[in-house]
Amino acid sequence: MSIRKPIRKVTVNVEEDIKRNFILEYFTLEKEVCVEGAAHNTYGIEVLKRERTQLSTVRVEYRKVFDVFCTEEEAKNACHILADNTVTPVSVRDIVEQLIGTEEIENEEYEVMAV
């Protein structure tokens, strides 16, 4: 289980054929892991996208990437970079991999649902 802390919220307005908007929320995730009998905190990020469709349903999409940062400050900085560039859940993994210089993120969760 991880501790989720809100960092930023961004409203995105898209004007294509149909005007629509969606909300992106950025969170840090803190989790305690045991390595060789010692407890350590690791940090990750979550990006949540909420959008109301024309049929009045709410489409929710999120991606959580766990255990990629050693400090909460690094995770917060990554959230601000993602928010500044309005990164959506579908791209989070690729962007985080570029930020930390690896392609070996193994612990993530991704979900899309309509309610």
Are the C-beta atoms of residues 31 and 41 closer than 8 Å to each other? yes
Domain count, the chain: 1
What is the model's pTM?
0.88
The boundaries of the domain holding residue 23 are 3-114
Residues 50-88: tens digit of each pLDDT: 988 777 788 899 999 998 999 999 999 999 999 999 999
Residues 27-47: tens digit of each pLDDT: 999 998 888 889 989 999 999
Name, in order, each residue with C-beta under 8 angstroms of 87's C-beta and a sequence gap of 6 or more: 24, 47, 95
